[in-house]
Every structure is written in structure tokens, then in C-alpha cells.
Amino acid sequence: DQQVKQNSPSLSVQEGRISILNCDYTNSMFDYFLWYKKYPAEGPTFLISISSIKDKNEDGRFTVFLNKSAKHLSLHIVPSQPGDSAVYFCAASVSGFGNEKLTFGTGTRLTIIP
Amino acid sequence: DADVTQTPRNRITKTGKRIMLECSQTKGHDRMYWYRQDPGLGLRLIYYSFDVKDINKGEISDGYSVSRQAQAKFSLSLESAIPNQTALYFCATSDPRQATGDTQYFGPGTRLTVL
């Protein structure tokens, strides 16, 4: 049972345009969401997160949107740059002391075309 | 220097062999985790430890064991490796005392191949 789903295995975007990566979840107990970026031969690196008390969080070129009613979140990257080419994982958790476990999606490979 | 290190980075072994993957961290975090990544399946949790005396099974712990030797060290063992344990293995840490306590920080990974 995949509780966190990334239905697009891959996405190609022109440099300078907006990249939109999507993630859906089924567990209504999830209240904290994260995006990780992974380059080949490296571990995932934390990119941005959002708590369920917010519907938007922004950090530079990266913005995460959360739609709790739809159980959907998205990561917007604008403008997209060649260095953004990587695999992006969405993750979710039930916050609270002792609950620090993440459930990951299957990842979306983003390719930025120069 | 990297905050979370894993050794070895690559390992090829044979079916039935015992393998240990090691993870060390200098972040001072209490929480440590082991994941495996398979193509098309994302990262799946094998074991996690909230402190030196605490070990918990994740969603795919069968065939694996762990040891938390110190706050900074968390080892994953495959007692008798089998080919379907061929995967990328990642160690991660977190600190619940931080404002973003659920954020985990990953090591560079170990690529394990079981022939």
C-alpha cells in the first residue's frame, strides 16, 4: 500500500521555465511533508518542507504548496536551472515526539533542458 | 567533512555471505535510520533507532539486523545475503529537538550487489 505517491516517474522542462512536481498521499494522519533532491551517487538532500498548518512555503526558487482536502502537494521550481536536474522525492510523516519516521514516494526524475 | 558517512561505498558479495554496512555521524543526533532504495520503489525503512538503547523494525526488516554501538554509530547487517538484497542502502539521522525535527539527513549511500 503506497501511502505517498508520485505518479510521474519523469519530467522534462526547458531551462528558465517552471518545473512542477506533484505528490499525493492517502494517510490523513500525515501532517508534515518534505521534498528531497537526489543526485546520482549521492544521498538525498533536504530541500524544503511544509507543515499541515500552512498551505504554502517558499524558499528562494522553491515553493511547496499543500492542499489538505485533496491530499496533494506540489513543488514548484522557478526559474528552472540545469543544476536542478535530479530525482525528487516527496516524503511525509506524522509529527510528534517518537513519530519521526518518513514515508517516501517513488521519486520523479527531473531533467532541465538547456 | 561529511556529517553522515557510510562505509563501504560499494560492495559486491556472494549469496550466503554475512555483510555489515556501517554508518557514522558527527551531527550529534539521537535518531538514526537505515533505508534501502530500489528502482521504482523509492526509499523504504529497514530499521531505526531513537537512542542507543532503542531499536525498532521498519517496514522491510526481514533478513536484516542492526546494532547501535554508540550515539554516533549505527550498523546494518545482512546475516546471509541473498540476490534480492541488491540495492542502494542509505543511513540517515534526525534531531527531534530541532524546529524541523522530522527532517532527516542522509549519508552518501552504499551500493550493495549480491551475486
Contacts of A36 in chain B (CB under 8 A): 106
Q: Which residues of B touch A98 (CB under 8 A)?
A: 50
Between A41, A44, A102, which is nearest B102 by CB? A102
Model confidence pLDDT, tens digit, residues B61-111: 999 999 999 999 999 999 999 999 999 999 999 987 776 667 899 999 999
Per the prediction, chain A carries an average pLDDT of: 94
- String of DSSP letters for chain A: --SEE---SEEEEETTS-EEEEEEE--TT--EEEEEEE-TTS--EEEEEEETT-SEEEETTEEEEEETTTTEEEEEESS--GGG-EEEEEEEE--STT----EE---EEEEEE-
pLDDT score recorded for residue B95: 85
Minimum distance, in Å, between the CA of residue B51 and any CA atom of chain A: 11
B35 vs A contacts (CB less than 8 Å) = 104
Question: Which of the four pLDDT bands, split at 50, 70 and 90, describes residue A98?
Answer: low
Supply the pLDDT for residue A75: 98
Q: How confident is the model at residue A81 (pLDDT cuts 50, 70, 90)?
A: very high
**What pLDDT digit, counting tens, does each position of B11-47 carry?**
999 999 999 999 999 999 999 999 999 988 889 999 9
Judged by CB atoms within 8 Å, which residues 18-57 of A form the interface with B?
32, 34, 36, 41-46, 49
CA-based R_g, chain A, Å: 14
Does the beta carbon of B94 lie under 8 angstroms from any beta carbon of chain A? Answer: yes
On whether any CB of chain A is under 8 Å from the CB of B96, the answer is yes
